[in-house]
Amino acid sequence: MVELDKYLIVGAALFVLGAIGFLTRRNLIVMMLSAEMMLHGVGLNLVAFNYEHGHNQGQSFTIMILTVAACEAGLALVLILALYKRRKTLDVDVWGELGEAKPLCDVRLERRSATAEPAEEEETADPRLTPAGRLPRFNKQETATRV
Amino acid sequence: MLSPQTAVFAVSDIPLAIVLPVIAIGLSLMWMLPRGGRAPSRLAKVLPLTLVWGSLFSLIGFGRFAVGEVLFGVFATAALLAGICMITSRNSAYSALWFAVVTLSVCGLFLLRSAPFLSAATVIVYAGAIIVTFLFVLMLAQQEGTAGYDATSSNPLLTSVFGMVLFGSLIVGITSWPKEAISVASAGPIETPAAEQTANVKGDAPLAAAPPAQTHRYFKSDETALANAWSRHPEGEVGSLHGLGRSLFGDYLFAVEFAGTLLLVACIGAIAMAPRRPQGTL
């Protein structure tokens, strides 16, 4: 077997193991680690080809991958902490529904109809789009004369 | 072995020496993934691990008893077995530690492929920064140890089949890749003229003078792939700090600047998104 093939096979195995881990595990942090292992497999491929070609392009690419992996890990951990703060668990199945629990207009209607309860306030502490404000009232006759 | 000339493969062309190990690896992984209930005993883990190791190295080939081959075997074994332990461990802190083992073994493989700077950088970035951060988040978020969702996995059967198909097709692609078409039959390094060598050593050669053409071990000299003539390095410079620095700050200067900007943006984003307490409390 050619020397290059051995490294390619190890890289492929690392990539597939990472993919399986990403798809099966339910812990958010283990999923992130599996994604990093996929990056390791790709980096190993690049370095093996780099050695065969005899220049430094593959290693330069791998350093770029390293940079992106560092950024990705930092941002992912912040997001995981934010998610954990909401539901107090690292289980990914909790986040199966991506939609908001209640549409914003319904929340507003409820507020208008009844006094808001404190529990409801806590529920609406989700990050939401900025409300667009009150609908402007048009004077029909005035707009008609303007046009 | 597949003939490289055939453009279309039949499924029956795939040799059993590839199919059987891949199926063995998939079955062992399916057996080892957490499926609820009690954790399997240590013996029940060692058996599939041995099976996976044997299958993988029947694909890779055991090689001769030389130093390079033995080192490759040690590092590859450590990387793959630690990877399997990582995705099958029921304790996420142990998963992070197994990932550190994977990182160190991959760095060993980098060293064998003459990438010393890259392997040092990978150790620093991954084992020094990323793993520690992951462990901190685990410490903050999962203080009670093993949780219920760690003991089960979603769709282990389907995912193992997916992994088997993906890995098998990758192996078939790698082993049947027609290397004869691009390999140079007897490529020795071309002797460079003495005058150019001295100019290179001094480092004061005018930029207009192209460095000597290089040939490589398996591939033709790919001059078309390298726009900048100065990024073709003499034989000893692959992966060295000198060569890598010249490649990064010569060919890829914009990419390096862009990577720096990316790090800055990620840093600002992480600070902006971090969950914080009300003001005045720690």
Compare all CA atoms of chain B with the CA of A15 and give the residue at the minimum distance.
Answer: B167
**Residue A129: what pLDDT?**
61
State what percent of residues in chain B have pLDDT above 90. Answer: 26
Determine the residue among A33, A95, A122 to mutate to test chain B binding: the one whose Cβ has the most chain B Cβ atoms within 10 Å: A33
Pairwise CA distance, residues B62 & B43, whole Å: 25
**Residue B184: what pLDDT?**
41
Among the listed residues A11, A75, A21, the one whose alpha carbon sits nearest the alpha carbon of residue B99:
A21
Per-residue exposure over B222-243, b if at least 16 CB sit within 10 Å of its own CB, e if not: eeeebeeeebbbbeebbbbeeb
Q: Is the CB of residue B129 less than 8 Å from the CB of residue A77?
A: no
A residues 90-129 lying closer than 8 A (beta carbon) to B: 90-93
Pairwise CA distance, residues B116 & B238, whole Å: 10
Query: Which residues, 6 or more positions from A115, have their beta carbon under 8 angstroms from its beta carbon?
Result: none
Q: Give B15's pLDDT tier (boundaries 50, 70, 90).
A: confident
In this structure, the number of other CB atoms found within 10 A of the CB of residue B98 comes to 22
Per-residue pLDDT tens digits for B159-179: 999 999 999 999 988 888 766
Interface contact B102-A40, CB threshold 8 A = yes
Query: Which residues, 6 or more positions from A142, have their beta carbon under 8 angstroms from its beta carbon?
Result: none
C-alpha atoms less than 13 angstroms from C-alpha of B163 in its C-beta half-sphere:
31
Is the pLDDT at B272 greater than 60? The verdict is: yes
Say how far residue A115 (Cα) sits from the centre of its chain.
36
Nearest 5°: the CA angle A39, B182, B9 is: 75
Q: Is the CB of residue B141 less than 8 Å from the CB of residue A90?
A: yes
CA-CA-CA-CA torsion sign (B271, B275, B281, B282): negative
Is the pLDDT at B229 greater than 60? The verdict is: no
Among the listed residues B91, B80, B79, the one whose alpha carbon sits nearest the alpha carbon of residue B34:
B91
Min CA distance, A26 vs chain B (Å)?
6
Pairwise CA distance, residues B119 & B104, whole Å: 9
Say how far residue B186 (Cα) sits from the centre of its chain.
29
Minimum-distance CB partner of B87 among A21, A51, A63: A21
Q: Using a CB–CB cutoff of 8 Å, tell me whether B117 touches chain A.
A: yes
Spell out which residues of chain B touch residue A7, defining contact as CB-CB under 8 Å.
109, 113
Q: Using a CB–CB cutoff of 8 Å, tell me whether A14 touches chain B.
A: yes
Q: Is the CB of residue B72 less than 8 Å from the CB of residue B63?
A: yes
Is the pLDDT at B256 greater than 70? The verdict is: yes
Per-residue pLDDT tens digits for A79-112: 888 888 877 888 888 877 666 555 666 666 666 6
**Residue A14: what pLDDT?**
95
Interface contact A55-B160, CB threshold 8 A = no
Min CA distance, B214 vs chain A (Å)?
8
Interface contact B266-A75, CB threshold 8 A = yes
Report long-range pairs for B44-53 (Cβ below 8 Å, ≥24 apart).
B45/B88, B49/B81, B49/B84, B49/B85, B51/B24, B51/B25, B52/B24, B52/B25, B52/B28, B52/B80, B52/B81, B52/B84, B53/B77, B53/B80, B53/B81
Q: Could you tell me which residue, B145 or A23, shows the higher pLDDT?
A: A23
- Please report, for chain A, how many H helices and E strands are present, in that order: 6, 0
Is the pLDDT at B208 greater than 70? The verdict is: no
Query: Which residues, 6 or more positions from B188, have their beta carbon under 8 angstroms from its beta carbon?
Result: B215
Q: Could you tell me which residue, B107 or B3, shows the higher pLDDT?
A: B107
**Residue B253: what pLDDT?**
92
Compare all CA atoms of chain A with the CA of B120 and give the residue at the minimum distance.
Answer: A63
Tokens of A92: 């990914």
Spell out which residues of chain B touch residue A64, defining contact as CB-CB under 8 Å.
252, 255, 259
Per-residue pLDDT tens digits for B26-67: 888 888 888 877 777 777 888 888 888 888 888 888 777 788
Q: What is the mean pLDDT of residues A52-58?
A: 83
Pairwise CA distance, residues B193 & B122, whole Å: 37
Among the listed residues A138, A33, A82, the one whose alpha carbon sits nearest the alpha carbon of residue B100:
A33
Instruction: Name the H helices within chain B.
Output: 16-32, 42-60, 67-88, 92-112, 116-122, 131-141, 156-175, 194-202, 241-246, 253-273
Q: What is the mean pLDDT of residues A124-145?
A: 64
Residue type, B32: M
Q: What is the mean pLDDT of residues A118-142?
A: 60
**Residue A36: what pLDDT?**
94
Is the pLDDT at B8 greater than 90? The verdict is: no
Compare all CA atoms of chain B with the CA of A126 and give the residue at the minimum distance.
Answer: B275
A residues 16-75 lying closer than 8 A (beta carbon) to B: 16-21, 23-27, 29-30, 32-34, 36-37, 40, 43-44, 47-48, 50-57, 59-60, 62-64, 66-75
CA-CA-CA-CA torsion sign (B205, B207, B213, B216): positive
Pairwise CA distance, residues A76 & B80, whole Å: 25
**Residue A69: what pLDDT?**
92
Is the pLDDT at B83 greater than 80? The verdict is: yes
Per-residue pLDDT tens digits for B233-249: 555 567 788 888 888 88
**Mean pLDDT, chain B, integer:** 77
User: Counting one residue from A and one from B, how many pairs have CB atoms under 8 Å apart?
Assistant: 265
Residue type, B111: L
Tokens of B132: 């520690």
Q: Give B3's pLDDT tier (boundaries 50, 70, 90).
A: low
Q: Does this model's pTM top 0.90?
A: no
**Residue B267: what pLDDT?**
92
Q: Using a CB–CB cutoff of 8 Å, tell me whether B24 touches chain A.
A: no
